[in-house]
Structure 1
Amino acid sequence: MQDKNFDKLSQKFAKNIYGTPKGEIRAAVLWRDLAPQIAALSDKPLRILDAGGGFGFLSQKLAAMGHEVVLCDISEQMLAQAKQQIEASEVQLNITLVHSPIQALSSAQHGQFDIILCHAVAEWLIDAKTTLQGLLTLLKPQGLFSLMFYNKEAMRFHSLVSGNFDYVMRDMKVKKKVGLTPTHPLYIEDVRQWFNQWQLTMICQSGVRVINDYLKHHLPPNFDTQQLIEMELLYSQREPYLSLGRYVHFLAKNP
């Protein structure tokens, strides 16, 4: 078995993830969590690693603010998309593209970083814990680690409210994997324990898509996507909604 490579799905992935309200919610929650912490750190340009960052949605945003970004991905197609977008940018972006598995990154080759982003990657890894622990060797003391992962409990709850009881009884295993359904979703408590073991100080925790994925098919005629995003932000850090987020974002500081 090997970790997921999105080469064959790169166009579908870009369209499904960022060209939709799902993507807008993801971007809004991540940015709400990250922006004040980045502002507090950045009296000078920061070195940022976007590990498994695909075509670099956040990489480009951060580089446009003057930070130095290393964007690493296992997918050549994703990085080709990133290259096109970087070259088309109106402002010059200091982004280094690295085509490699994130397990192959080393501080000897790439140095250390003020911030490491690892978003929607862990749930595709065969051994997420070991891989993430390896990434932390590239994080400076007092550096920030931003991890967003697919929440197994939310996956189960979504299946339950959709009436897919047989799927739940099989522990959500299918004979044929659907392209964009993560292969190794994680439990929130497991990831919290890892953070404790690694002595990371948690700064904030948020659910991502705590409402969107449970919306009914028949919505009120005045339904407003902008209001949905506002509600997502309002409830994303409150229990029990946080734990029902389709993804969960942890932002923590290195000791």
Structure 2
Amino acid sequence: MTTPASPFSAHGDRHFDGLADKFAASLYGGARGELRLALLDRLLPEMLALEGQPVLDVGGGLGQLAAWFAGRGHPVTLAEPSAEMLARAREALQETSGECEVTFLPVPLQALPEQAPGPWSLIACHAVLEWLGDPRGALATLAGLLAPGGQLSLMVFNRDALRFSNVIKGNLEKALADRLEGKGLRRRLTPISPLTHAQVMAWCDALGLEVRAVAGVRVFHDYLRQPPERDDERDRLLELEWRYCRAEPHWRLGRYLLYTLVRPDASPFPAEEPL
């Protein structure tokens, strides 16, 4: 009997080969995926200083974020360890990237210091750390790739929002026990390392990264009893999300937390401390 391939890499990271269709349907299909992309379309130009600089898109998945940057004149290097996801991204970007150069790297985040050392003035890493066995170490790797003054657009799956969602669904014992992580088994897509805002802040402080901006992505949608079905309802929800995505206390319960992190010009990158 053939032993099924492990869904985890040697680093303890969740693999997505064989899951491209489910990934596309669950995370980008339907209203919640459209809302996520619509909010990013508004947030990124306000949260980042965009000057057509080269972008390293880490864990670029199906290529939506790479297409967004390429469509705005940025040369993009898309790094993605899943061969299936990378092939989908390559196919999609051939149709949408226009004249802008897109380079594809079939490598995990841990290989980037050798494969794409930079230094980079702009790195995007969206919805990746929560699928890694060592998200703190991954953030340290990303920080080390930044040029002085470089920006990191980081989006992570919010552990506090996951707890709140479980309570709403009636999973009280699970919430009390803080058993919120996914196990990475079968075809389920609950992240194995959801993060809190406090964790991100502590890690940034230790790594010498400045937090320039923060927002919550989908602060209302995922808690609705009945998602909007009509176009006018979806439009009103988008405006509500946009109005409160950076307002206290609402942004803190966004399904995702979006950060702009900067490596200061004058501060040398600190040596990584032992975990």
Give SS of 1:117's match.
strand
Q: What's the CA shift for 1:115?
A: 0.8
Does residue 53 of the first structure (1) align with residue 35 of the second (2)?
A: no
Give 4+ residue runs of structure 1 displaced > 3 Å after superposition.
Answer: 107-110, 173-178, 218-223
Aligned twin of 2:218 = 209
Q: Cα deviations across residues 34-53 of structure 1 (Å, max 9, x unaligned)? A: 21355x441xx311011011
From 142, 148, 156, give the equivalent of 1:141. Answer: 148
Query: Aligned match of 1:253 in 229, 249, 262?
Result: 262
Q: How many residues align?
A: 252
Q: Tell me: CA distance 1:179–1:142, structure 2 relative to 1, closer, same or farther (3 Å).
A: same
Report percent identity of matched pairs: 37
Residue in 1 aligned with 2:29? 19
CA distance in 2, matches of 1:214, 1:57: 25
The 3-state SS of whatever aligns with 1:143 is strand
| Greater alpha carbon shift after TM alignment, 46-55 vs 109-118 | 109-118
Is the aligned partner of 1:165 residue 2:175? Answer: no
Give the SS at the match of 1:106.
helix
**What does 1:100-179 align with in structure 2 at a 5 Å threshold?**
100-106=107-113, 109-172=116-179, 177=185, 179=188
Q: Which segments of 5 or more consecutive residues in structure 1 lack a partner in the other structure?
A: none
The equivalent of 1:192 in structure 2 is 201
What SS does the corresponding residue of 2:73 show, helix, strand or coil? Answer: coil
Offset at residue 108 of structure 1 (A): 6.9
Q: Report the secondary structure of 2:18's partner residue.
A: helix
Q: 1:144 to 1:166 in 2, by over 3 A?
A: same
What residue is the counterpart of 1:34 in the other structure? Answer: 44
Go from structure 1 to structure 2 and tell me whether the alpha carbon gap of 1:219 and 1:17 turns closer, same or farther (over 3 Å shift).
closer
CA contact (8 A) 1:30 1:249 kept: no
- Measured after TM superposition, the shift of residue 176 of structure 1 is 7.8
SS of 2:23's partner is helix
* Inter-partner Cα distance in structure 2 for 1:218 and 1:249: 23
| C-alpha spacing 1:221/1:95, structure 2 compared with 1 (3 Å) | closer
The corresponding residue for 1:233 is 242
Return the alpha-carbon distance in structure 1 between the equivalents of residues 104 and 199 of structure 2: 31
Q: Tell me how far apart the structure 2 counterparts of residues 149 and 12 of structure 1 sit (CA, whole Å).
A: 20
1:3 matches 2:10: no
Q: Distance in 1 between matches of 2:60 and 2:231?
A: 36
**Equivalent residue, structure 1, for 2:273:** none
Task: Measure, in 1, the Cα distance between the counterparts of 2:140 and 2:261.
Answer: 13
**TM-score, structure 2 normalization:** 0.84
Tell me if the contact between 1:107 and 1:137 (Cα under 8 Å) persists in the aligned partners: no
1:145 to 1:176, Cα distance in 2 relative to 1, 3 A:
closer
Q: How far does the alpha carbon of each residue in 1:142-173 deviate from its partner, in whole angstroms, 9 at most, with x for none? A: 11111111111111111111111132234225
TM-score where L is the length of structure 1: 0.90
Q: Cα deviations across residues 161-214 of structure 1 (Å, max 9, x unaligned)?
A: 111113223422577846211111111111111112222222211111100011
Conserved in 2, the CA contact under 8 Å of 1:51 and 1:116? yes
TM-aligned CA distance change 1:176 to 1:4, over 3 Å? closer
Distance 1:216 1:109, change over 3 A: closer
1:47-76 deviations in Å (ceiling 9; x for gaps): 101101102111112112221111001111
Give me the whole-angstrom Cα distance separating, in 2, the residues matched to 1:222 and 1:22. 13
8 A contact 2:70–2:97 mirrored in 1: no
Shift of 1:88: 2.6
Contact 2:118/2:147, CA 8 A, preserved across alignment: no
* RMSD (CA atoms): 2.3
Could you tell which deviates more after superposition, 128-137 or 211-220?
211-220
Q: CA deviation at 1:222?
A: 8.9
Cα distance, 1:25 vs structure 2: 2.3
User: Any conservation in 2 of the 1:113–1:138 contact (CA below 8 Å)?
Assistant: yes
